Amino acid sequence: MTIDQTLEQPHPVPPGQINKAIKISYAQAMLGAFFGASTSVGLVTAYFLKLGATNEQLGLLSTVPMYAVFAQLIAAVLIERGARRKRMTAVGSMAGVLCWGLVIALPVALRDQPVEGRISALIAVFTLISVFNQLAGNARASWIGDLIPSDRLGTFFGRLVVYGGVIGAVLAILSGRFLDYMKHAGVSAFGWVFAFGMVFGIANSILYTRQADVPTPRHNISLAGLVRQTFGNKSLMAFMGFAIFWNMQTIGWPFYAPYLLRDIKLTYFQFSMIGTIQGITVLTSAPFWGRMVSRHGCRPVLIICAAITLPVAASWMWISTPLAAFIAVPIVNIITGFANGGIGVAVSTIIYKVTIPAGRAVQMAIYSAAIVFLIAPMPTIGGHLPGWLNAHGIHADIRVTFYASQFFCLAALLMAKRVVEPGSTSAGEIMVELKEKVVGR
């Protein structure tokens, strides 16, 4: 079965159920914003810094849980054997949320243990959370591709960002202010924030049960045949190349928060305010990118957004004081937020254009596992990079990881140009629309 043939099939879900699922998904985006803001990467990084984590341990925190992606292969096999994607999504999501109770409790339970022991135990818990999230994520990704019509996906993903973005931006500021206020409470302040988020995470998981289930499309292809079909899909392989290089920028991503909080000495509130600028930009740009994806396709959006991001990392060489951070980081976040809004919508959409319903769970699992297998070492490499360079007489701080990310962004840009997407237009046509919006007709 080809991709074009799948577009000719009648949709398995009545329009009323589709609209209900879309509305519930928007509600989940808002609930997810409460949960995400309360368990964000920045807060988790600050939590680990409070516990005494080193750069190397922060790198491991980002690297080790990534290998949980191989749980997607297990999920795909279960789905191909008849497991209900709706149930797997709800149960996996709920289990992942409940594990945050361990994140709160372990530092207290292990308070008499060395710092290394507490950090290692928490990394193990975050890996377990990632396992449950990967199981749920694969099932949900496969399920949503059959639940939402393909011609509505671009707008759907664009609006998801909007519904959750406003709440996420406000809560990011409030959580930072709360942590500044609660500094005297130490680690317990983080526990209250995480517990607050868990309430909304649980509600989000429950709402999966209110959406229409879609039976997994039946086919006669063996598991080995599905694997061969996946690697024979040239469109998927080209997009995978883009995704690999784009995500190799994780060599620097985990260290922006430590640099601003620990090295520049920003407060949590100041850090949250600066970070919120990026979130707001993603929020306001996502509907625009959703329209561009629907009108021009995903490929030109990927090209433009990668090109916008490419020169930004070099600006960090001038950001070495709080004043410089207050001036430059908001500008950086506006630029990267605009680009990330487009990347997020395009990536979420194109994966459904280059896969087919028959065996989609397997295709997505292989896609995710291959990417993570290659990018997972990058945060650990980033954590060790300054030390390695200094040992060889090259003075460097953690910003060297930001500079290194530029090479991977360039490679991603080159790969984006090789992505094949039938019906897409050129990046130039989108640039014309951007120019009209900025300077008028």
**333 Cβ neighbours under 8 A, 6+ residues apart:** 274, 275, 277, 278, 281
Q: Does residue 7 form part of some domain?
A: no
Cβ count near 161 (within 10 Å) = 25
In terms of pLDDT, which residue wins out, 126 or 47? 126
Q: Does residue 106 form part of some domain?
A: yes
The HSE-up count of residue 116 (CA atoms within 13 Å, CB side) is: 1
184 confidence band (pLDDT: 50, 70, 90): low
In terms of pLDDT, which residue wins out, 6 or 441? 441
Q: Could you tell me the CATH number of the domain that includes residue 267?
A: 1.20.1250.20
Q: What is the reported pLDDT for 181?
A: 66
pLDDT tens string 64-89:
888 888 888 888 888 887 888 999 99
pTM higher than 0.75, yes or no? no
Q: Does residue 198 form part of some domain?
A: yes
Q: Does residue 160 form part of some domain?
A: yes
412 confidence band (pLDDT: 50, 70, 90): very high
3-state secondary structure of 394: coil
* % the chain with pLDDT above 70: 91
3-state secondary structure of 297: coil
Q: Does residue 9 form part of some domain?
A: no
Task: Give percent helix, percent strand, percent coil of the chain, each to the nearest 5.
Answer: 80, 0, 20
Q: Please state the rounded mean pLDDT for residues 112-121.
A: 85
Q: What is the reported pLDDT for 2?
A: 42
Report whether 425 contacts 301 (CB < 8 A): no
Q: How many domains does the chain have?
A: 1
- For residue 312, give the nearest of 330, 296, 294 by alpha carbon: 330
Q: CA 256 → CA 54, 383, 415, distances in Å?
A: 14, 12, 26
3-state secondary structure of 60: helix
Q: Does residue 8 form part of some domain?
A: no
Task: Tell me the residue range of the domain where 407 lies.
Answer: 14-211+219-439
pLDDT tens string 197-254:
999 999 999 999 999 888 776 766 667 777 888 888 888 898 999 999 999 998 998 8
- pLDDT of residue 257 exceeding 80, the answer is yes
Work out the mean pLDDT of the chain and round it to a whole number. 85
334 confidence band (pLDDT: 50, 70, 90): very high
In terms of pLDDT, which residue wins out, 11 or 373? 373
Q: What is the reported pLDDT for 7?
A: 41
